[in-house]
Amino acid sequence: MTTTLELFLLITLLILALSMILSFIRLIQGKTIWDRILMLNLISAKVVLFISVYSVYIKNVVLLDIAISYGIISFLTMTLLSKLIMTWGKEKC
């Protein structure tokens, strides 16, 4: 017996998973290296949202802490990758 709120959360999880798959396709066939950084950023944000919605769906509060720490790691990854490409990667790409 699923309530209406669980149905809405399931549809949200489905849309998030579909958009992550489409972003991953775009990451593989990306034109420039900044496109790939952008798609990696989108996938990380969608993963944080996915963990949050799933934590409300199974009523477990510990998963929200994991979502916060995943967001911090995602921010550090994007910033350091962009700075590395800006300083060292002028000949590589």
**Residue ranges binding another protein (CB under 8 A):** 4-5, 8-9, 11-12, 15-16, 19, 22-23, 26, 31-32, 34-35, 37-39, 41-42, 45-46, 48-49, 52-53, 56, 59, 61, 64-65, 67-68, 71-72, 75, 78-79, 82-83, 85-86, 90
Considering beta carbons, is residue 1 or 90 the nearer one to another protein?
Answer: 90
51 burial (CB, 10 Å; 0-12 / 13-18 / 19+) is middle
The nearest distance, CB 73 to another protein, in angstroms, is 11
Nearer to another protein, 2 or 4 (CB): 4
The helix/strand/coil state of 27 is helix
Token pair in block for residue 5: 């709120």
Extract the tokens encoding 28. Answer: 């593989």
- Please give the C-alpha separations between residue 4 and each of 15, 28, 59, in angstroms, as whole numbers: 17, 37, 15
